[in-house]
Amino acid sequence: MGDRITYVGLDVHKDGIVVAVAEGGLRGEVREYGRIANTPAALDRLMCKLGGASVRLRVCYEAGPCGYGIQRHLSARGHECVVVAPSLIPKRAGDRVKT
């Protein structure tokens, strides 16, 4: 795999996916990359644009009603993909629950 790691966060919805990217390891600046369709072809195009011979992609998204199809699709193509349970995401002191 590659020398560099790029972290990719997906905000998955039924009709689309909002993509955020952090390059430069764990200390890299997080930037919004854009929005793509929620289709396997759009995911493949995104991974080709972001990845390369010297880049390893680590992808994550929040577990939700869209299920694990994205995780299975990306893993089958050799990408690291983690589905994160919302209840296990650390919260900063002072963050309140929306009501």
CATH of the domain at 50: 3.30.420.140
Q: Which domain holds residue 19?
A: 4-88
Angle between helices 40-50 and 69-76 (to 10 degrees): 50
Flag whether 17 is in a domain: yes
pTM of the model: 0.82
Given this model, what pLDDT does residue 47 score? Answer: 95
Given this model, what pLDDT does residue 44 score? Answer: 95
- Residues near 85 by beta carbon (within 8 Å), at least 6 away in sequence: 63
Given this model, what pLDDT does residue 67 score? Answer: 81
Tokens found for residue 60: 């994550």
Flag whether 97 is in a domain: no
Q: Which helix (H) or strand (E) holds 9?
A: strand 4-12
Flag whether 95 is in a domain: no
Given this model, what pLDDT does residue 25 score? Answer: 66
Mean pLDDT, each 10-residue run in order, the chain (99 residues): 83 94 79 94 95 88 88 93 85 70
Given this model, what pLDDT does residue 64 score? Answer: 86
Flag whether 94 is in a domain: no
The domain tally of the chain equals: 1
